Structure 1
Amino acid sequence: MTHNTPLSPRPLRHLSEVHRRVLTAAQLRSHGVTSAELTEQCRPGGPWQSLLPNVILLHPGPPTSEEWLHGALLYAARESAPGVPSQPTAEDPHRPAYAEAVITGLAALTLHGFASAPPLLSLDHVDVLVPRMRRLRSAGYVRVLRTPSLPTPRTVTGLPVAPVPRALADAVAELTDAGAVRRLLTEAVRAGHCEPASVVRELTVAKLLNRPHVVDAVDSLLAEGRAIAEDRLYRMVREYGLPDPVWNVDLRLPGGPHLGGVDAYWPEQAVAVELDTRAPRQDEDALWSEYARKREHLERLGITVVYITPKKLRVSLEQQAAVVRTALMASGDRDPAAYVVVLPR
């Protein structure tokens, strides 16, 4: 096996070709390349080069972005059992090629399509998640991050990539630029990559919410997420022909206590919609208890409360419209609700 001519860079969608351009020393030996031949091929000025420890680039030019990532995964992946191929084959093209290795951090966000993430080859390292018990050190441009449990990866251009919330948390952990953190978190929600709650959950697990610039960015993230959810709620009412509600109002008993605010209310049917935009922070249990108390109080007064999450509005708008329509239609079969005062919020 010789590759004496540099291969031209190819876009990431052509990732399958990289399996012939970057191989481990063990894979080369399995193809009949002896240690002496490998040393000769990788000599200074030779046709091959060492990309990482025991990872060989089979041409003399600089690596492309796909070769760079593939090499990082080959370095971090657990070696296959003897006689078991570690690369996809023609007979089994979908077989996982990278055992126990997942790209995360800024490189993962770039692969997910974040415009605010830097180009791959401008990064000085690529973060790779591996199980905590693996005995593997960071080397070259690969930074090894150990984790108690690997996240279920998304396949992006054939590579195992951490889901956006986890990749964000790992990227934010190393960023000190408040503007960069805010741009990444805002794009995650604005571009529909994920919901704010899932991001805050990962940031909480990573113990990053004690950093002031992260807290400020999270506040902006939550405000952005709520604004987007409200826009989708307006669109749901408009596009699916629901009667117009009164928007963003407070409910209270005449001369009595405040019952709480709701995002939409249909007074004639006594149906309320509230967006569940709770962020999973340390006070989540207390906040949920407050939600539950308000809902129980309103329902005792004969008011139906429909809770909708931003994610449901994003992925199943028609289904959520059907839920609200059913609640409105069912109002005629219920006892009349108590009279409540409706005030702008």
Structure 2
Amino acid sequence: MTHNTPLSPRPLHHLADGRLRLMTAAQLRRHGVSAAETNEQCRPGGPWQQILPNVVLLHPGPPTSEERLHAVLLYAARERTAGGTGVTAGVPVQPGPGETPAPPAYAEAMITGRAALTLHGFPSAPPLPSLDVIDVLVPRLRRLRSTGCARIVRTTALPTAEQVTGVPVAPVARALADAVAELTDAGAIRLLLTEAVRGGHCEPTAVVRELNRARLLSRPHVVDAVDSLVAEGRALAEQRLYRMVREHGLPDPVWNVDLRLPGGPQLGGLDAYWPEQAVALELDTRGHRHDDDAVWAEHARKREHLERLGITVVHVTPRKLRDSLEHQAAVVRTALTAAGDREPAAYVVVLPR
């Protein structure tokens, strides 16, 4: 007996007893169900149905939303063997009495696009039953085609999937980019991007980076939505900054100011400035767009100029404020405390921005 020899068949009704009543053709063969018998069971009016190529739904009614998700993953996942036994990755074979079911495992496939956003909990994402197709992300070189309810999305670098209710799902930023690629409604795009930031799913820079990587920033309706996203991200970061000063007992700075030398040129804008200690704080809310290098170079020049004048510049990002607010407060406090040990800074004029 070789590992290709089918196992002794179990009664066919036993195969449909599990919560996920799905199997691949390979899994059915492992249970001793021949291709001819599978075709007979899937005949019109029969007890089974082929929902996607090589994926069989083991009941006659319409699939549930969960079954559609797993069917798409079964179709797209790379089949692999474990220990030479011919075990196929995907929904596990239904266990017998006393057996513990193995968790689903899908190789090189994950849900993305609008279905992924629904699983991530986006309020404006459509409910799963309303989606005619479900996007599934696979490596670029996989030989697959979109068919039925499965739409193949390819990538040169597959991200690490996040498990949501037992389903491998693309990270929010990547799922957003794949969803935006299929949308033409600027309002719908703007709403999804805003929810990503307000819901704390990811930072604007991560979203813009994925949109840029997908070459979507050349579309005017996407650019407009990104501008709103960046503004939303800045507003939330500023709120966290105000909270950091208030909750961690830092002295009040002057907010949103421009600095310039007396009778001289502008030195640039700052989000917060402590004049007595000559400590400046700048939020980095840059989007990773085509002009990112030029913007970063300008930021670097401004920082170097201020530091030559004796002004300490604290550089923070929205993500740092979100994930380590206490640590950022300690950084600012250290800079304020160290002011007494430095040479006095040059006199600058502080103007409201």
TM-score under structure 1 normalisation?
Answer: 0.93
The residue type equivalent to 1:208 in the other structure is L
In the alignment, structure 1 residue 290 sits paired with structure 2 residue 298: yes
Q: Is the 8 A contact 1:4 1:59 kept in 2?
A: no
Q: Structure 1 residues 152-161 or 40-49, which shifts more?
A: 40-49
**CA distance 1:179–1:4, change in 2 (3 Å):** farther
Q: Is the 8 A contact 1:5 1:47 kept in 2?
A: no
For residue 83 of structure 1, what is the aligned residue in structure 2? 85
Structure 2 alignment gaps of length 5 or more? 1-10, 94-98
For residue 2 of structure 1, what is the aligned residue in structure 2? 12
For residue 12 of structure 1, what is the aligned residue in structure 2? none
SS of 2:347's equivalent in the other structure is: coil
Residue 169 of structure 2: which of 161, 166, 169 is its match?
161
Distance in 2 between the 1:280 and 1:292 partners? Answer: 16
**CA distance 1:6–1:29, change in 2 (3 Å):** closer
**CA distance 1:55–1:147, change in 2 (3 Å):** same
Percent same amino acid at aligned positions?
74
For residue 55 of structure 2, what is the aligned residue in structure 1? 55
The residue type equivalent to 1:296 in the other structure is E
For residue 41 of structure 2, what is the aligned residue in structure 1? 41
Q: Please state how far the C-alpha of 1:91 moved relative to its aligned partner.
A: 7.7
For residue 249 of structure 2, what is the aligned residue in structure 1? 241
Q: Structure 1 residues 78-87 or 109-118, which shifts more?
A: 78-87
**CA distance 1:93–1:300, change in 2 (3 Å):** farther
For residue 115 of structure 2, what is the aligned residue in structure 1? 107
- Write out per-residue CA displacement over residues 222-276 of structure 1, whole angstroms, 9 at most, x where no aligned residue: 1111111101100110011111100000111111111111000111111011000
For residue 188 of structure 2, what is the aligned residue in structure 1? 180
SS of 1:17's equivalent in the other structure is: coil
Q: Is the 8 A contact 1:249 1:263 kept in 2?
A: yes
The residue type equivalent to 1:71 in the other structure is A
**CA distance 1:91–1:338, change in 2 (3 Å):** farther
- Write out per-residue CA displacement over residues 125-159 of structure 1, whole angstroms, 9 at most, x where no aligned residue: 01111111111111111011121121111111122
Q: CA RMSD in A?
A: 1.9
Count of aligned residue pairs for this structure pair: 334
Q: Is the 8 A contact 1:3 1:47 kept in 2?
A: no
Distance in 2 between the 1:29 and 1:148 partners? Answer: 33
In the alignment, structure 1 residue 147 sits paired with structure 2 residue 130: no
Correspondences of 1:1-345 after superposition (within 5 Å): 1-3=11-13, 17-18=19-20, 21-81=21-81, 83-85=85-87, 86-87=89-90, 93=102, 97-345=105-353
Structure 1 alignment gaps of length 5 or more? 8-15
Distance in 2 between the 1:102 and 1:150 partners? Answer: 9
TM-score under structure 2 normalisation?
Answer: 0.91
Distance in 1 between the 2:63 and 2:248 partners? Answer: 52
Q: Please state how far the C-alpha of 1:6 moved relative to its aligned partner.
A: 8.2
